[in-house]
Amino acid sequence: MIDILLAILNISFLQAIVNMSTPLLLAAIGDIYSERAGVLNIGLEGMMLIGAFSSFVISYHFNNPYMALIVTIIIGFGLGIFHAFFTVTLKADQVITALGENILALGLTSTLYRIIIGVTEIQPECPGLPVLYIPVINRIPVVGDIMSGSNILVYIAFLMPIITYIIFEYTSFGLSIKAVGENPKAADSLGINVNVIRYIAVIISGIFAALGGASLTIGGLKYFFDNMTAGRGFIAFAAVIFGRYTPLGVFVGTLLFGVSDAFQLRLQTLGIQLPYHIFTSIPYIVTLLVMIFSRQTSFSPKALGKAYVRSS
Amino acid sequence: MLRSAKKLTIFLVIIMVIITMVLSMTSCKSKMQTSTGLGGNTGSKEKVYKVAILLPGSVNDGGWSASAYEGLVKIEKELGCKTAFTENVKKNDQVQIMREYAKKGFDIIIGHGFEFSDALKQVSQEYPNIKFVGIGTMVTGPNLASLQFKYGELGYLTGFIAAKSTHTNKIGIITATKDPTGQIEFDTLEAIAKQVNPNVAVAISYTGSWEDIYKAKEAAIAQIGNGADVIITNNDAGNLGVIQAAKEKGVFVIGWTGDYYKHAPDNVLTSAVQKVSLLIFEGVKGFLEKGFEGKVYQLGLKEGVQYIGEYGNTVLQELKDEVKKITKDIIEGKINIEEIYKVKK
Of the CA atoms within 13 Å of residue B295, those in its CB half-sphere come to 8
Q: Which of A48, A50, A86, A123 to mutate to test the interface with B (most CBs of B within 10 A)?
A: A123
Stated as kind and residue range, the H or E segment containing B146 is strand B144-149
In this model, does residue B44 exceed pLDDT 50? no
ipTM over 0.95: no
Q: Are strands B306-308 and B82-86 parallel, antiparallel or unpaired?
A: unpaired
The predicted structure's pLDDT at residue B2: 53
CB A97, CB A86: distance < 8 Å: yes
If phi over 0 gives left and psi between -120 and 50 gives alpha, with beta otherwise, what is residue B238?
Answer: alpha
Determine which of B16, B213, B259 to mutate to test the interface with A (most A C-beta atoms within 10 Å).
B213
Report which of B49, B109, B116, B121 is spatially closest to residue B85, judged by C-alpha positions.
B109
Is the model's pLDDT at B328 over the cut of 50? Answer: yes
Q: Which residues of B fall within a CB distance of 8 Å from A89? A: 5
SS3 state at A140: coil
Q: What is the pLDDT of residue B34?
A: 38
* A-proximal residues of B, 257-316, CB under 8 Å: 262-263
Question: Is pLDDT above 60 for A59?
Answer: yes
Helices A247-269/A11-36 angle, 10° precision: 150
Nearest-by-Cβ selection for B205 from A114, A265, A277:
A265
In angstroms, the CA B217 to CA A24 distance is 17
pLDDT of residue B244: 94
**pLDDT exceeds cutoff 70 at B38:** no
What is the predicted pLDDT for the residue at A58?
97
Q: pLDDT higher for B40 or A250?
A: A250
Helix (H) or strand (E) holding A4: helix A2-8
**CB neighbour class for A282 (10 Å; exposed up to 12, middle 13-18, buried from 19):** middle
User: Which chain B residues contact residue A280 at CB under 8 A?
Assistant: 206-208
Question: Which of B27, B230, B235 to mutate against chain A (most A CBs within 10 Å)?
Answer: B27
**B18 interfaces chain A, CB cutoff of 8 Å:** no
* pLDDT for position B344: 56
Q: How far is CA A36 from the centre of its chain?
A: 16
Average pLDDT over residues A67-79: 97
Binary contact (A100, B20; C-beta < 8 A): yes
Q: Which residue of B has its CA nearest to A19?
A: B218
> Chain A residues with CB inside 8 Å of B263's CB?
122-123
Has residue B7 got a pLDDT over 80?
no
Residue B33 is predicted with a pLDDT of 39
User: What type of residue sits at position B215?
Assistant: K
Length of chain B: 345
Q: What average pLDDT does range B177-204 have in this prediction?
A: 92
- Residues B230, B126: Cα–Cα separation, whole Å: 47
User: Mind telling me how many Å the CA of A158 is from chain B's nearest CA?
Assistant: 19
Cβ atoms of residues A48 and A23 within 8 Å = yes
Distance CA A62, CA A60 (A): 6
Whether B120 has a pLDDT exceeding 90, the answer reads yes
Pairs of CB atoms within 8 A across A/B: 143
Confidence check: pLDDT of B306 > 90: yes
Euclidean distance between CA atoms A10 and A58, whole angstroms:
36
Question: DSSP labels for B254-295?
Answer: EEEES--GGG-TTTEEEEEEE-HHHHHHHHHHHHHHH---SS
The predicted pLDDT at position A293 comes to 73
Q: How far apart are CA B193 and CA B53, in angstroms?
A: 36
pLDDT at B101 over 70: yes
3-state helix, strand, coil in chain A (%, to 5): 75, 0, 25
Cα gap B336→B73, rounded to integer Å: 35
Report the gap between the CA of B263 and the closest CA in chain A (Å): 7
Pinpoint the alpha helices (H) of chain B. 2-27, 64-78, 94-103, 117-126, 153-165, 180-196, 213-225, 238-249, 276-290, 317-332, 337-344
**Residue B199 in this model has a pLDDT that exceeds 60:** yes
Residue in A86, A261, A268 nearest the CB of B206? A268
- Decide: A222 and A137 in contact? Cβ < 8 Å: no
Q: What residue in B sits closest to A265 (Cα-Cα)?
A: B219
Q: Which residue has the higher pLDDT, B277 or B24?
A: B277
Note the pLDDT tens digit of each residue in B269-294: 999 998 888 999 999 998 998 889 99
The closest CB to that of B12, out of A90, A107, A225, belongs to A90
Partner residue facing A226 (CB), from B12, B211, B215: B211
Whether residue A210 has pLDDT greater than 60: yes
Residues of A in contact with B219 (CB under 8 A): 265, 268
Q: How confident is the model at residue A11 (pLDDT cuts 50, 70, 90)?
A: confident
Q: At A294, is the pLDDT very low, low, confident or very high (cuts 50, 70, 90)?
A: low
- Averaged pLDDT, B67-81: 92
DSSP state of B312: P
Q: How confident is the model at residue B303 (pLDDT cuts 50, 70, 90)?
A: confident
Please tell me the predicted confidence (pLDDT) of residue B28: 39
Q: Which of A104-108, A181-185, B39-43 has the lowest mean pLDDT?
A: B39-43
Amino acid letter for position A31: D
Judge whether residue A312 has pLDDT over 60: no
- Answer yes or no: do A269 and B223 touch at CB < 8 A: yes
Instruction: Check B59 against A119: CB less than 8 A apart.
Output: yes
Listing from the earlier edge strand, what are the strands of the sheet with B306-308? B201-206, B170-175, B230-234, B252-257, B268-274, B306-308
Percentage above 70 pLDDT, chain A: 98
Least confident residue range of A52-56, A205-209, B177-181, B228-232: B177-181
Report chain B's mean pLDDT, rounded to a whole number.
87
Interface of B with A in 207-246 (CB under 8 A): 207-209, 211-215, 217-219, 221-223, 225-226, 228, 237, 240-241, 244
The minimal CB distance from A107 to the residues B20, B206, B217 is found for B20
Q: Which of these, B91, B54, B25, lies nearest to B280 by C-alpha position? A: B54
pLDDT of residue A270: 85
What torsion, rounded to 10 degrees, do the Cα atoms A282, A286, A288, A289 define? Answer: 130
- Could A104 and B203 be called an inter-chain contact, meaning their C-beta atoms sit closer than 8 Å? no
Q: Name the band, by pLDDT with cuts 50, 70 and 90, for residue A289.
A: confident
pLDDT at B42 over 60: no
Average of per-residue pLDDT across B95-120: 94
Q: How far is B45 from chain A (nearest CA, A)?
A: 35
3-state SS track over A32-89: HHHHHCCCCCCCHHHHHHHHHHHHHHHHHHHCCHHHHHHHHHHHHHHHHHHHHHHHHH
The better pLDDT of the pair A224, B236 is held by A224
**Mean pLDDT, residues B203-227 taken together:** 92
Whether residue A206 contacts residue A47, with contact meaning beta carbons closer than 8 Å, is answered with yes
- State the average pLDDT for chain A: 91
What's the pLDDT score for residue A271?
78
User: Which of residues 40 through 59 in chain B touch A, CB cutoff 8 A?
Assistant: 57-59
Nearest to B207 by CA among A10, A131, A261: A261
Confidence of residue A295 (pLDDT cuts 50, 70, 90): low
- CA–CA separation, B342 vs B324, rounded Å? 24
Q: Which of residues 80-119 of B touch A (CB under 8 A)?
A: 88
